[in-house]
Amino acid sequence: MEYIPAKTIITRSKKPEYWFGTEYNMNIYKGCCHGCIYCDSRSDCYGITSFDTVRAKENALTIIRDELRRKTKRGVISTGAMSDPYNPFEKELELTRHALELCNAFEFGIAVATKSRLLARDIDVLEDIKEHSPVLCKVTITTSDDALAKKIEPGVPPSSERFALIRELTEHGIYAGVLLMPVLPFLEDSDENIRRIVHMAGEAGAKFIYPAFGVTLRENQREWYFDRLNHLFPGEQIAEKYQKKFGYSYECRSPRSRQLWKVFTKECQDAGILYQMQDIISSYKRPYQLEQLSLFDL
């Protein structure tokens, strides 16, 4: 494992209300070896060289402990943007696990985004955190088809195993759901895929699904994505379809997004699954806010 210097690891979120109400961000690793063909973190604007090589931040746990100790305001810390905190090296290094233990010790909440089943290893720590602060687990799933998942997300377990992870979390009383993004135009944007994902999420006990019916593409990542499409789906001319439909646009919204939204919202309503950001935030944080209110009542 290569280590890189870091001055700070926990930063304040700019607009928590737009993204799961999390007050802080924490990235212990840089780069990701999961190889998802659509990964936005590969974009030039982030300037991450050798993105597929995972590097860990030097003295990460000491920095995190000092930062948590100094914070005067408690809150929920989000991890899993730009890099999956449960990469294969985490199994031995346990940096994410120990960071969760620090969050527990200093009474911060946690919101984890991952595609890895390794998260299940840390259910015991999540259970401890949830005794005092909100816990939210977001498992990214973009297709109900394991064979397709293996192609487009080669470094992570197939979707069925990710649904099993959600089941394991919810059986332990951990608040968990699906990040349904991106939904790749011309590959994943069928009614059937969305219906099956909502159905399987419901069976796994998911509390929410947060979708994006499209993908974003920027310099460097766009070229990588098109190259992978041509390699994985020879003769299907999917990259050409993108170029024709979206040109160099950043936002590549599925041409079927309106129809998908209709199907998605109907299925979620029938299954009792939340899908609006504000509802999800209120739902996982409410028990702790009520607790605070009742303390003031005493």
Site for ligand SF4, rule CB under 6 A: 32, 34-36, 39, 41, 83-84, 115
Strands (E), 80-204: 109-114, 135-140, 176-180
Residue 268, SS3 per DSSP: helix
Closer residue to ligand SF4, CB minimum distance, 32 or 135: 32
Query: Whole-angstrom Cα distance, residue 209 to residue 261?
Result: 12
Shortest gap between Cβ of 115 and ligand SF4 (angstroms)? 5
Give residue for tokens 């003295």.
Answer: 59
Residue 119, SS3 per DSSP: helix
Shortest gap between Cβ of 87 and ligand SF4 (angstroms)? 8
Closer residue to ligand SF4, CB minimum distance, 67 or 153: 153
Taking residue 72's Cβ as centre, other Cβ atoms within 10 Å add up to 4
Shortest gap between Cβ of 155 and ligand SF4 (angstroms)? 7
Residue 16, SS3 per DSSP: helix
Closer residue to ligand SF4, CB minimum distance, 23 or 40: 40
Counting other chains too, the contacts that 285-294 makes at CB distance below 8 Å and 24 or more residues apart are 285/21, 285/76, 285/134, 287/134, 288/109, 288/132, 288/133, 288/134
Both structure tokens of 90 = 């985490």
DSSP 41-96: GGSGGG--TTTTS-EEETTHHHHHHHHHHH-SS--EEEE-SSS-TT-TTHHHH-HH
Amino acid sitting at position 245: K
Query: Whole-angstrom Cα distance, residue 150 to residue 145?
Result: 9
Judge whether 136 and 129 are in contact, CB under 8 Å.
Answer: no
Both structure tokens of 272 = 């009792």
